[in-house]
Amino acid sequence: MAAAASSPSPPAVITCRAAVAWGPGQALVMEDVEVAPPGPLEIRVKVVSTSICRSDVTQWQSTAQPDLFPRIFGHEASGVVESVGEGVTEFQVGDHALTVFIGECMSCKHCVSGKSNMCQTLGLERKGVMHSDQTTRFSIGGKPVYHYCAVSSFSEYAVVHSGCAVKVSPTMPMDRICLLSCGASAGLGAAWNVADVSKGSSVVIFGLGTVGLSVAQGAKLRGASKIIGVDTNPAKQEKGKAFGVTDFINPAELNEPVQQVVKRLTDGGADYSFECVGDTGVVSTALQSCSDGWGLTVTLGVPKAKPEVSAHYGLLLSGRTLKGSLFGGWRPKTDIPLLVEKYANKEIQVDGLVTHDMPFSDINKALELMLQNRCLRCVIHMPK
């Protein structure tokens, strides 16, 4: 009789290189880290490309959670599934995937509502651990290394919950679609899902980074007639044109409040206003820049300081609306494949958001470029 086929051996601990932050704002250090096998409903991914998001930088510099170090940042990534945990049926070894900083369990109140992407099981993780068991999958010398947003893609390998990953076609360029796992999608979704920008409308966008430019692109594709970009970096004027910006305002060159200029350009205020800076003070300015009666302000930025928003009650009493947006309202597993398809069909622009491509060994240089506002997205390429 033929011998019975042996079952595949379970995944083992992997030792790989990761860029570890040992303290707030400290330069990342290339370390050998142990990456545990994926737990139930988890997958372990060999990271191929990861881009640096402004929120990575903000949280790396923040002193609000000093106990969550050492830590591995990074969340905007693409990779190949290396192993799967118990109960995973959607992914197989070798599948290409995007990691996402929020998940979709498909069964909680929010997921079944069809109204929200605020999954109660796999929502934004802030404690540096995995959703499932509140422990880490990274360690150095037996001591835990904390996660960021339950992804931590500044590592050659990462373990993520299968509900926080999206399968993509192997024909897609991994070093560009990684932007769809956060920044580009967040901006497009804010324009399409959260604001639902209408044809012929006026839009003002505060901050023309990756998210702001993606808002502009979304507004242009919806047929907005006037798209005003506000940024203190004069180089953003030309970049903005490529994504649909029709008018540019540099607050540093004004001798009057920005909102006064916006009101003149829009006959009393924009229909839609977007805060993409990560400054709660700008939220009030954005609210003042939109129209009485129906003006809608959407805030997308992650504040570096002063998380409280303050605004005169009269702005709301006069009919304006203030809304928040997380990941553009997209449900990761349900919606992101549609965005990837739009990218494949050249219906949306992503490549133009990448200003730098750098090897993993230069990740600190990439962070410095972001701190100096000299890049939009820097894509980090992992060793092959």
Same domain? 38 vs 94: yes
Residue 359, domain member (yes or no)? yes
The answer on 139 and 198 residing in a single domain is: no
Q: State residue 2's pLDDT score.
A: 44
Report the alpha-carbon angle 56-62-65, nearest 5.
Answer: 105
Q: Are 91 and 162 in contact (CB under 8 A)?
A: yes
Together in a domain, 31 and 175: yes
225 and 303 fall within a common domain: yes
Q: How many folded domains does the chain comprise?
A: 2
Whether the per-residue pLDDT at 343 is higher than 50: the answer is yes
**Would 226 be classed as within a structural domain?**
yes
Residue 342 within a domain: no
Provide CB contacts within 8 A for 312, sequence distance 6+: 284
Are residues 373 and 306 both part of a single domain?
A: no
Residue 10: predicted pLDDT: 85
Tokens encoding 331: 């449900």
Mean pLDDT (whole number) for 27-42: 98
**247-273 tens-digit pLDDT:** 999 999 999 999 999 999 999 999 999
18 and 128 part of one domain? yes
CA–CA–CA angle 102, 105, 106 (5° rounding): 125
Nearest to 138 by CA among 35, 215, 18: 35
Looking at the structure, do residues 29 and 169 belong to the same domain, yes or no? yes
For residue 104, being part of any structural domain is answered with yes
pLDDT, mean over the chain:
95
- In the predicted model, what is the mean pLDDT of residues 115-137? 96
The domain in which residue 267 lies consists of 187-326
Q: Domain of 163: which CATH number?
A: 3.90.180.10
Domain of residue 200, CATH code: 3.40.50.720
Tell me, what's the pLDDT at 172? Answer: 98
Residues 39 and 147 in one domain: yes
Same domain, 131 and 167: yes
Does residue 129 share a domain with residue 241? no
Same domain, 35 and 104: yes
Alpha helices in the chain (DSSP H): 54-61, 109-113, 174-177, 183-189, 210-221, 236-242, 258-265, 280-289, 313-317, 332-344, 363-371
